[in-house]
Amino acid sequence: LKPVKIGICGLGTVGGSTYQVLSRETELLSARAGVQLYVSHIGARRDNPHCATADTRVSRDIFDVARDPQVDILVELIGGTTVAKELIETALASGKHVVTANKALIAEFGSELFALADKHGVVIRYEAAVAGGIPIIKALRERLAGNQILWLAGIINGTGNFILTEMKDKGRAFADVLAEAQALGYAEADPTFDVEGIDAAHKLIILAAIAFGMPLEFTRVYTEGISRITPRDVDYAQELGYRIKHLGIAKQSEAGVELRVHPTLIPERRLLANVDGVKNAVMVEGSAVGPTLYYGAGAGGDATASAVVADVIDLARDIAAEQRPQIASLGVAQQNIVAQTIVPMVQVVTPWYVRLEAEDRAGVMAQITALFSDEGISIEALIQKAPSAGESKVPVIVLTNAAAQGRLDAVIAAMDKLESIADEIMCIRVEMLDV
């Protein structure tokens, strides 16, 4: 058998680790693939001081790798949606299979790229694009194929989870923890993608497209980040028996599909509430299997390389068998992908955590509870704190029963008109995840 030759473009955190795993474990991985694997060509604009490339050929022009007739599989690890897209298009047109960790590219241009791959008789694999080292793509696309997927909910951004965990456990400041996540190689090149939920939204639409056989329509995901969460909210949530996690949720309902990324209170006894640090976890409920849970490192070089290398091995097996990979990119043939109605957020029903500052005088609490009851929202728990020194207003925390966002919006609009309540009101959704 001819060896399978791999070209790696990008030698940053994930690229460097992928090269090292493939070099370090060549024997083991080749045995698994049933064919000799080796990295024949690297494309990197600059060296990585943490990754010696031995005698492997290195080109400064990454397109040299995409055009190299020797390369069978191109591994794209440069990130971004401009040059990376062009690189992948070039590789596909040269008849190479592609492996990528690029969630932004798959979320935004996946449909177009999958169609192009099809045209050239090759495939794009992207296990590393979602939840780092956790094999969630394979699980959802292949191993849960016997199920209707009812819903999935996951912590799918390692940087965000690391920040929330450090805030909770050590009371650390947001910016300080973010800087550490960047130094550890967890964060995106532009970390607002992590803290504003864009990265999680990219991953969620990929999971939803596989789960529901729907198109990759990234812009339809409701996206809210964690940057507004304060240490006080973390503490109050804890007092009420909850943890704040940043969740991506895709749920099938009679009205359509809910697609949402937002901070969420989860009861502290749930497994997802205890997924800490850079770890990710995705819960998937299938119609036959029931709830399932996938857990592991969601970011970082080696963990992500684990997923990249698994895709390389899968493709190498097909190359060795001289067969075209059979599994469709989203697990469903292009012609069977069906657009879904996306449920508008005002109709999405969840319990709510509401934190506000109210005047500390008789009748104000009655006013507050009346506003909720006027909208038919029942209160599950209510805490009023003592005023801080020199403050005339006191923090009030309300936990409601399930209510559509539209109803809560009406309560908040009414509160905005009351002088007894300060302008800044924090609302966070609650998910009970009681399966």
Q: Interface with ligand HSE by CB under 6 A: which range of 37-45, 70-78, 151-159, 377-385?
A: 151-159
Nearer to ligand HSE, 10 or 132 (CB): 132
Under DSSP, is residue 243 helix (H, G, I), strand (E, B) or coil? Answer: strand
Question: Which structure tokens are listed for 387?
Answer: 């005023």
Nearer to ligand HSE, 190 or 391 (CB): 190
Question: Which structure tokens are listed for 1?
Answer: 């058998």
**Judged by CB under 6 A, does residue 135 bind ligand HSE?**
no
**Judged by CB under 6 A, does residue 242 bind ligand HSE?**
no
Residue of 19, 109, 151, 186 interacting with ligand HSE (CB under 6 A) = 186
Under DSSP, is residue 48 helix (H, G, I), strand (E, B) or coil? Answer: coil
How many of the chain's residues bind ligand HSE (CB under 6 A)? 11
**Judged by CB under 6 A, does residue 194 bind ligand HSE?**
yes
**Judged by CB under 6 A, does residue 298 bind ligand HSE?**
yes
Q: Interface with ligand HSE by CB under 6 A: which range of 76-84, 168-176, 186-194, 261-269?
A: 186-194
Nearer to ligand HSE, 96 or 246 (CB): 246
203 is catalytic: yes
Please say whether the beta carbons of 70 and 40 come within 8 A. yes
Q: Interface with ligand HSE by CB under 6 A: which range of 32-40, 152-160, 211-219, 378-386?
A: 152-160
Residue of 89, 199, 285, 311 interacting with ligand HSE (CB under 6 A) = 199
Strands 73-76 and 97-100: what pairing? parallel
Closest CA relative to residue 433, chosen from 136, 144, 155, 158 = 155
**Judged by CB under 6 A, does residue 188 bind ligand HSE?**
yes
| DSSP one-letter string for 324-370 | ---S-TTSS-GGG----PBPPGGG-EE-EEEEEEEE-STTHHHHHHH
Distance CA 372, CA 92 (A): 57
Q: Catalytic pick from 5, 85, 103, 203?
A: 203
**Judged by CB under 6 A, does residue 275 bind ligand HSE?**
no
**Judged by CB under 6 A, does residue 100 bind ligand HSE?**
no
Nearer to ligand HSE, 10 or 158 (CB): 158
**Judged by CB under 6 A, does residue 102 bind ligand HSE?**
no
Under DSSP, is residue 203 helix (H, G, I), strand (E, B) or coil? Answer: helix
**Judged by CB under 6 A, does residue 132 bind ligand HSE?**
yes
- Give every CB contact of residue 259 below 8 A, 6+ residues apart in sequence: 204, 205, 208, 220, 221, 222, 249, 250, 342
CA distances from 336 to 1, 111, 211, 331 (A): 36, 13, 13, 10
Please say whether the beta carbons of 331 and 141 come within 8 A. yes
**Judged by CB under 6 A, does residue 359 bind ligand HSE?**
no
Distance CA 201, CA 207 (A): 10
Q: How far is the CB of 304 from ligand HSE (least distance, A)?
A: 6
Cβ atoms within 10 A of the Cβ of 181, count?
Answer: 24
* Binding residues vs ligand HSE (CB under 6 A): 132, 157-159, 186-188, 194, 199, 298-299
